[in-house]
Amino acid sequence: MKLLITGASGLLGLNLALETHRAHQVTGAVHRTRLQGAPFPVLQADLTQPGAVARLFAEAKPDWVIHTAALANLEDCERNPDLAQRLNTEVPAILARACRKGGARLLHVSTDAVFDGTKGNYTETDSPNPLGVYARTKLAGEQAVLAEEAAAIVARVNLFGFSPTGNRSLAEFFLYNLLTGHPVKGFTDVFFCPLLVNHIAEIFVEMLQKDLHGLYHVFAAECVSKYEFGVRIARLFGLDERLIAPISVHDFGLLARRAPDLRMNTHKLSTALGHALPTLSPMLRRFYTLYQQGYPQKLKEYLI
Give the active site residues: 134
CB burial readout 81-109, b (16+ within 10 A) else e: eeebbebbbbbbbbbbbbbbeeebbbbbb
With both helix axes pointing from N to C terminus, report the angle between 91-102 and 52-60 in degrees, rounded to the nearest 10. Answer: 40
Q: How far apart are CA 143 and CA 196, in angstroms?
A: 26
How far is 243 from 223, CA to CA, in rounded Å?
22
Cβ atoms of 9 and 164 within 8 Å: the answer is yes
Query: Which of these, 12, 71, 4, lies nearest to 43 by C-alpha position?
Result: 4
Q: Are 122 and 262 in contact (CB under 8 A)?
A: yes
Local structure of 176: helix, strand or coil: helix
Quick check: 173 and 167 in contact, CB under 8 A? yes
Contact yes or no for 172/233 (Cβ under 8 A): no
Count Cβ atoms within 10 A of the Cβ of residue 15 and give its class: 0-12 exposed, 13-18 middle, 19 or more buried.
buried
Helix (H) or strand (E) holding 214: strand 214-218
Contacts of 211 (CB under 8 A, 6+ apart): none
